């Protein structure tokens, strides 16, 4: 048999347009969720130090160990004085935060048989991998505080790519909710900051309760818990939520026997959050809705407001080995890299190159995510032409059936001007609002289902 064919001949044993079989997104036992997006300088803490914060976090599946990740890219040290993780069978009275916005205290404490908690240790020294001689799950750690050093090369405290600095994995067994055994388990995370400066996420506080679509899987509560110059992480009795404009940025990673799906979002402010709650992206909402105890789906974010691909792509590269994405939701339409056709095409090329590497290493599946429009292109014909060209290309890619595309402009934009938002989906004229984000949930679920296989 000859391997030579006449020009234009077709080998009938092969499809004329072969489509690579990428497989379904891989499942993970170690799942990561970020508490807000980005990394920003918090205002100097004006009240007595140390100061204890609390975030009550739902996790979908049974947890047996967890660790916390922190970031510092700025020219000041950040002192993590102490951190504890508690299991709880209820949110206590956190729900009262939805009834009173006046700033009064609420007293949520972890409740249930496992409410004694586990102290977080840092024997691994912030590394994503434990050093030689350290158990993978450290039940006898001796280093209880951790100082993230200043970066003296960042005198202006400008945004930069981040690399997570991790605690040890410590044993913590979550327990079902007393009132809703089939609902998500709840972890109470207490973190005490001992330095006058800290790194915050872009949200002032978690305001999920303002969204009429909130369910038990679509909520967090976080606030200052103790401001009496004392570390309350080991004894939270008496702590209370108080309104406070900033929370420390951190990441929760937990170990579960339920093999789940790890989603990661990468992009600029359009991919980071809606403008009026600063957290609940369509990806996060869709994951919360589809997640079950048998198939937990968690979302980690390396999206940054105002960032270009030199920040969020590098942040993803820096943390991919620790997070191991199952599904990457990456933004191919970002004006922050430039507003020409060449800029958009280069950004798509970078997205595809990084996706290829992640798929080769971890089996990661790519979903192209265009979660918003670009209304500032009005009056900028080259930018409109570039946006229109790339949107058409993305739709061709999606039609091929291999790489899904969340086509936000098709829902949030005008048919004859997809770069402009229709009324009611943006409250600042640039970013989708919570209402706009909700309109993209169905489309996001469809894309998610296609690569997960559900």
CA distance 445 to 425: 19
Give kind and range of the element (H or E) at residue 57.
Answer: strand 51-59
Give the pLDDT confidence score for residue 432 in this predicted structure: 84
200-238: per-residue pLDDT in tens?
Answer: 875 544 444 454 444 556 666 666 666 666 777 777 777
For residues 217 and 28, the model is more confident at 28
pLDDT of residue 3: 37
- For the chain, what percent of residues have pLDDT higher than 70? 80
**281-287 average pLDDT score:** 90
If residue 36 lies in a helix (H) or strand (E), which one and from where to where? Answer: none
Residue 404 has pLDDT above 80, yes or no: yes
Domain residues of the chain, as ranges? 260-452
Contact (Cβ atoms closer than 8 angstroms) between residue 362 and residue 402: no
Q: pLDDT-based confidence at 100, cuts 50/70/90? A: very low
Q: Tell me the pLDDT of the chain averaged across its residues.
A: 82
**What mean pLDDT comes out for the span 241-269?**
85
Determine what percent of the chain is predicted with pLDDT higher than 90.
43
> Across residues 113-129, what is the average pLDDT?
85
Rounded-to-10 torsion of CA 80, 84, 89, 91: -30
Which tokens sit at 349? 């090329």
Whether the bond into 50 is cis, omega within 30 of 0 = yes
CATH code: domain 260-452 is: 3.40.50.1110
DSSP state letter for 393: H
Local confidence band at 377 (pLDDT 50, 70, 90 cut-offs): confident
**pLDDT average, residue stretch 187-199:** 89
Tell whether the model's pLDDT for residue 105 goes beyond 70.
no
Q: Which residue has the tokens 């891989």?
A: 26
Highest mean pLDDT pick, 35-44, 71-80, 92-101: 71-80
Q: What pLDDT score does 102 carry?
A: 53
Q: What is the H or E stretch that residue 360 is in?
A: helix 341-362
Beta pairing class for 40-41 and 327-330: unpaired
Query: What's the angle, vertex CA 308, arms to CA 268 and CA 448, rounded to 5?
Result: 40
Higher pLDDT, 153 or 49: 153
């Amino acid at each position: 048999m000859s391997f030579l064919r006449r020009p234009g001949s077709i080998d009938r044993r092969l499809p004329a347009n072969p489509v690579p079989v990428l497989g379904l997104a891989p499942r993970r036992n170690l799942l990561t969720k970020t508490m807000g997006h980005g990394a920003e300088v918090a205002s100097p803490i004006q009240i007595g130090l140390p100061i204890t914060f609390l975030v009550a976090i739902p996790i979908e599946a049974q947890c047996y160990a967890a660790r916390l990740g922190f970031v510092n890219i700025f020219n000041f040290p950040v002192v993590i004085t102490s951190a504890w993780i508690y299991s709880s069978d209820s949110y206590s009275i956190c729900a009262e935060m939805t009834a009173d916005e006046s700033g009064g205290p609420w007293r949520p404490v972890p409740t249930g048989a496992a409410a004694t908690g586990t102290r977080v240790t840092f024997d691994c020294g912030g590394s994503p991998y434990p050093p030689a001689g350290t158990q993978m799950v450290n039940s006898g750690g001796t280093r209880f505080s951790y100082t993230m050093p200043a970066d003296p090369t960042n005198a202006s405290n400008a945004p930069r790519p981040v690399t997570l600095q991790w605690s040890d994995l410590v044993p913590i067994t979550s327990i079902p909710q007393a009132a809703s055994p089939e609902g998500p388990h709840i972890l109470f995370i207490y973190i005490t900051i001992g330095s006058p400066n800290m790194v915050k996420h872009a949200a002032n506080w978690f305001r999920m309760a303002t969204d009429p679509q909130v369910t038990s899987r679509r909520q967090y509560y976080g606030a200052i818990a103790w401001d009496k110059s004392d570390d309350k992480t080991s004894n939270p009795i008496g702590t209370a939520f108080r309104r406070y404009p900033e929370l420390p940025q951190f990441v929760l990673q937990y170990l579960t026997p339920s093999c789940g799906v790890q989603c990661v979002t990468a992009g600029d402010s359009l991919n980071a959050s809606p403008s009026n709650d600063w957290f609940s992206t369509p990806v996060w909402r869709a994951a919360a809705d589809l997640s079950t105890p048998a198939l937990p789906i968690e979302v980690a974010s390396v999206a940054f407001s105002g960032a270009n691909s030199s920040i969020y792509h590098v942040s993803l590269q820096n943390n991919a080995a620790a997070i191991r994405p199952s599904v990457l939701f990456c933004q191919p339409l970002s004006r922050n890299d430039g507003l020409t056709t060449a800029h958009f095409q280069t950004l798509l090329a970078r997205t595809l190159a990084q996706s290829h590497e992640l798929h080769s290493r971890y089996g990661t599946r790519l979903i192209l995510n265009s979660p918003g429009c670009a209304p500032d292109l009005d009056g900028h014909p080259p930018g409109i032409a570039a946006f229109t060209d790339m949107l058409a290309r993305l739709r061709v890619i999606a039609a091929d059936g291999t790489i899904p595309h969340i086509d936000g402009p098709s829902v949030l934009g005008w048919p004859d001007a997809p770069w402009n938002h229709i009324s009611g989906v943006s409250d600042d004229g640039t970013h989708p609002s919570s209402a706009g984000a909700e309109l993209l949930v169905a489309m996001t679920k469809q894309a998610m289902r296609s690569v997960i296989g559900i």
